[in-house]
């Protein structure tokens, strides 16, 4: 079956003398591995279209029951050139690719996830603080996978996250795999991550934002690290097999 689909190139590796194998995150079929014959010979049939991060239109000869499919055409829709000009943006872009590599399913319609990833990468090119985009994207992915964390109100009593929580005795709030608990409902026995009020309210604000509205946002470094750590706890609580992301040193430090 020949199919045409939009895709994001997640990774590419050499294959035999003249070919490449690419992992694509496609809109219609989720994650697919494809072989690009002749991609490394002198004619470089696919040019630079298989560079990681590219948003492409791919034509694939897809064989049922196979792990590897044949790429017959690949046209670039967006190179995301501005990402490679800035290390923080590039790192954020690679973090997104690794996350997609971990959560996307093979051969499963993924248009909702695909649109979030594409919009996230587009926003990264023009944003002031790449980490805000990554946090928003992580929260959106949790949302569409059915694991939206309850951040605007306590998972126990339903009270909204409010300024009064700022003055908690411990100075922290507890995030469990369902959402946050206020200090009154605090459940110390559950697996959880403690976060400062500022971190929890930042995550809530980012959850309620859009990519567009995050363009001008800058997160202070001390809150940023706490937010990454807290959300990483949440992601690993829900998603089996997710590993520390190589492109994110902070996450590696927390996991070790």
- Give me the least distance between CB of 181 and Zn ion, in Å please: 6
- Sketch the per residue contact string, 106 through 145, with Zn ion: x for CB under 5 A, - otherwise: ----------------------------------------
Helix (H/G/I), strand (E/B), else coil: 181:
strand
CA dihedral (48, 49, 51, 55) positive or negative: positive
Using rule CB under 5 A, residue 96 touches Zn ion: no
Q: Which residues contact 80 (CB under 8 A, 6 or more apart)?
A: 53, 54, 55, 93, 121, 122, 124, 125
User: Where do the H-state alpha helices sit in the chain?
Assistant: 87-103, 111-124, 130-144, 197-207, 221-238, 249-255
- Give me the least distance between CB of 234 and Zn ion, in Å please: 18
Using rule CB under 5 A, residue 218 touches Zn ion: no
β-sheet bridge partners, residue 34: 22, 69
Which region, judged by CB under 5 A, interacts with Zn ion, from 105-113, 152-160, 233-241, 245-253? 152-160
- Give me the least distance between CB of 153 and Zn ion, in Å please: 8
User: Is the CB of 106 or the CB of 164 nearer to Zn ion?
Assistant: 164
Using rule CB under 5 A, residue 154 touches Zn ion: yes
Are 36 and 22 contacting, i.e. CB atoms less than 8 angstroms apart?
yes
- Give me the least distance between CB of 214 and Zn ion, in Å please: 28
Task: Catalog residues that contact Zn ion under the rule CB under 5 A.
Answer: 154, 156-157, 182, 185
């Amino acid at each position: 079956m020949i199919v045409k689909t939009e895709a994001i190139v997640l990774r590419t590796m050499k294959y035999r003398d003249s070919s490449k194998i690419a992992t694509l995150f496609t809109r219609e079929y989720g994650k697919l591995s494809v072989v690009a014959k002749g991609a490394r010979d002198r004619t470089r049939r696919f040019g630079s279209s298989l560079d990681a991060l590219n948003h492409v239109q791919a034509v694939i000869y897809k064989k049922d029951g196979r792990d590897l499919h044949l790429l017959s055409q690949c046209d670039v829709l967006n190179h995301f050139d501005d990402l490679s000009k800035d290390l923080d943006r590039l790192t954020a872009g690679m973090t997104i690719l690794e996350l997609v590599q971990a959560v996307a399913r093979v051969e499963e319609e993924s248009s909702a996830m695909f649109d979030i990833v594409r919009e996230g990468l587009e926003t990264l090119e023009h944003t002031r603080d790449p980490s805000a985009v990554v946090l928003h994207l992580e929260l959106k992915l949790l949302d569409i996978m059915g694991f939206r964390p309850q951040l605007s109100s306590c998972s126990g009593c339903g009270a909204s996250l409010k300024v009064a929580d700022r003055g908690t005795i411990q100075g922290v709030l507890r995030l469990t795999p369902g959402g946050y608990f206020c200090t009154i409902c605090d459940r110390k026995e559950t697996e959880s991550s403690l976060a400062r009020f500022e971190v929890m309210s930042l995550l809530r604000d980012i959850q309620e934002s859009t990519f567009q509205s995050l363009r001008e946002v800058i997160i202070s470094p001390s809150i940023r690290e706490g937010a990454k750590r807290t959300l990483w706890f949440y992601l690993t609580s829900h998603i089996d097999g997710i590993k520390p992301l190589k492109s994110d040193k902070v996450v590696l430090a927390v996991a070790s």
